Amino acid sequence: MTLQFWVGRLMRWWWRSLLVACAATIAAGCAVNPVSGRSEVAVLSADKERELGAEEAEKVEASMGLVADPTLGAYVQAVGGRVARLSPRQDVSYTFKIVNRPEPNAFALPNGNIYISRGLLALANAEDELAGVLAHEVVHVAARHTVRSANVAVATSPLRIATGIAGIATGIIAPRVGEGIMELGETASEAFMAPYGRSQEREADDVGLDLAARAGYDPKGLPRALQALEREEALRRGGPPRQSFFDTHPATPERVRETQGRAAALRPEPGTPVAKTHREFLARLDGLLIGDDPADGTFLESRFFHPMLGITLRFPAEWQTRNTPRAVAGHTRDREAVLLFTVAGKDDDPVQVARDAERAAGVRLLERSAALEINGLRAVRSVVAVDGSRGPTTLDFTWIAHGGIVYRIVGVSPARRYGTYQPLFDQTVASFRAMTPADAAQIRETRLRVATARAGERLADVVRRTGSVWSGEELAVANGLAADVRLAAGQLIKVAVPEPYRDRR
């Protein structure tokens, strides 16, 4: 069946569903904003909001993962809990968790789940800064900012959800077609992560500053955290695209100045922080993973290793490669040929998983297939011809079973050039094998460590002495210091040090 058939069918479904969505919106009606006290339109009821928030929390934690450090997690929960108990809204349970992402970010879901990334934690230099960020997110929940938008009503309509599912299913067969369908839709997660409006950000800033001060924290912590985020963002500008705090929390030139001014007018209530000293605060962060997590897979030159799954394979030399949550990809510089490596399913039978994919896609994948063995592992390989957006295209599929999981390798090239790329596809398939202890010993990870400065040292001196992978400029941002600072004897400095990978299985 054609793409047009499915889009037409989904559009007819959408018109019927629109009536239901409108009725639900009218039923939700107006509600009092617990923060402002004003009556405002809410597209979802509080119960529906909590239900959707819980569903999204499962997706967030499954896709991003959580930092497996109970001590650090309990610390973040303790700091967040101090500000959350003063929230003007108490009909939700506030939970604070650390997502295993290197990008500095924090976000809230409407059920009270609040997430901060390990990347943002690494930028913090005081508990006041952490409390300021968490208080800001508490206000987004309390004021129901996430659901006070038509985006949520649209994103939770059957059309949006169905097109997301269709895109994934179709992407198995023809990635470009799948991407085209997905452009029609938006997942609920994307809607909940949509940017807040300027008025919502100001409300979260204003009330968050007050919450932090009432909880005993210096309200100047939030503007300091925002400054650190702006400096880090400027440092990364021009690099590869990535998610950041400012994707969902729009920055304006005057925002830091405004929060600084409002914070200066507030006086914190007496209180004792969870971490009693600066040294104790930094000790809480010591050992935090920095950068990409090798447990999610890592490249050493052209060979990909996944230590949690215990597998490895090699992509063609000189190809550009990338590891993403959905797939490991490699392609020629001109993107004429592509290799995709993914988990296809949980099973010991690659043929069965291939047949399941065949049924799901409605395309005959195994018509030209052959069973084979690759490095002692059961496999099946098939070549499929399709009409792609750039003309006749050849898809070279291989399903390989290892450890109760079936993996899929797909080589994609123009049909007329398949003879050129087939040997490279063959080599990648043949390179798939179980990891060895020698493989694991090659993998490194980067951890935050706390170093002690020597009198008169510059940040570049600390980099050389500790072997930090952060440059002097990055060290300045991470520690909230001027780039040309002269350090005092005994001054504590966060550094990022490569270490042997720790097996977390």
Strand order through the sheet with 492-500: 289-290, 444-452, 492-500
Element (DSSP H or E) covering residue 406: strand 405-414
Phi, psi for residue 313 in degrees, rounded to 5: -155, 160
Residue-wise DSSP of 330-390: EE-TTSSSEEEEEEEEE-S-HHHHHHHHHHHHTS--STTEEEEEETTEEEEEEEEEEEETT
Burial of 386 (0-12, 13-18, 19+ CB in 10 A): middle
Rounded Cα distance between 362 and 438, Å, is 42
Tell me the CA distances in angstroms from 75 to 79, 130, 132, one per residue in order.
6, 11, 15
Chain centre to alpha carbon of residue 153? 23
- The torsion of the CA quartet 67, 342, 240, 164, rounded to 10 degrees, works out to -90
Q: Let me know the angle formed at the C-alpha of 400 by 397 and 401, rounded to the nearest 5 degrees.
A: 150
Which amino acid would we find at residue 123? L
- What is the per-residue pLDDT for 4? 39
Tell me the CA distances in angstroms from 136 to 218, 293, 451, one per residue in order.
14, 27, 31
Rounded Cα distance between 234 and 228, Å, is 10
Structure tokens that stand for 74 in this block: 């309990």
Phi, psi for residue 404 in degrees, rounded to 5: 80, 10
Query: CB-side exposure of 173: number of CA atoms within 13 Å?
Result: 25
- What is the per-residue pLDDT for 38? 63
- The torsion of the CA quartet 268, 119, 279, 77, rounded to 10 degrees, works out to 60
- What is the per-residue pLDDT for 367? 81
pLDDT single digits (tens) 22-33: 444 444 455 666
Question: What does the domain layout of the chain look like in residue ranges?
Answer: 1-28+150-193, 33-148+195-285, 311-434, 443-500
Rounded Cα distance between 208 and 83, Å, is 9
- What is the per-residue pLDDT for 39? 58
- What is the per-residue pLDDT for 363? 78
Beta bridge partners of 305: 298, 312
Strand order through the sheet with 298-300: 298-300, 303-306, 311-314, 433-434
DSSP character for 99?
E
The answer to whether the beta carbons of residues 332 and 312 sit under 8 Å apart is: no
**Assigned superfamily of 311-434:** Mog1/PsbP, alpha/beta/alpha sandwich (3.40.1000.10)
Q: What is the pLDDT along the chain (505 residues), one digit of tens a residue?
A: 333 333 344 344 333 443 344 444 444 455 666 665 565 655 667 788 788 888 988 988 988 899 999 999 999 999 999 999 999 999 999 999 999 999 999 999 989 999 999 999 999 999 999 999 999 999 999 988 776 654 444 444 433 333 332 222 222 322 332 232 223 333 445 444 455 677 778 888 999 999 999 999 999 999 999 999 999 988 887 555 455 454 555 555 678 889 889 999 999 999 999 999 999 999 999 999 999 999 999 999 999 999 999 999 999 999 999 998 789 999 999 999 999 999 999 999 999 999 998 888 777 888 888 999 999 999 999 998 888 777 899 999 999 999 999 999 999 999 999 999 999 999 999 999 999 999 999 999 999 999 999 999 999 999 999 999 999 999 999 999 999 999 999 999 999 999 999 988 7
Contacts (Cβ under 8 Å, ≥6 apart) of 179: 167, 171
N-term to C-term CA, the chain: 43
Structure tokens that stand for 339 in this block: 């290799």
pLDDT single digits (tens) 201-227: 888 899 999 999 999 999 999 999 999
Angle (deg, nearest 10), helices 350-361 and 158-171: 130
CA-wise closest residue to 344 among 331, 330, 326, 362? 326
Sign of the alpha-carbon torsion through 443, 448, 449, 452: positive
- What is the per-residue pLDDT for 185? 33
Which amino acid would we find at residue 290? I
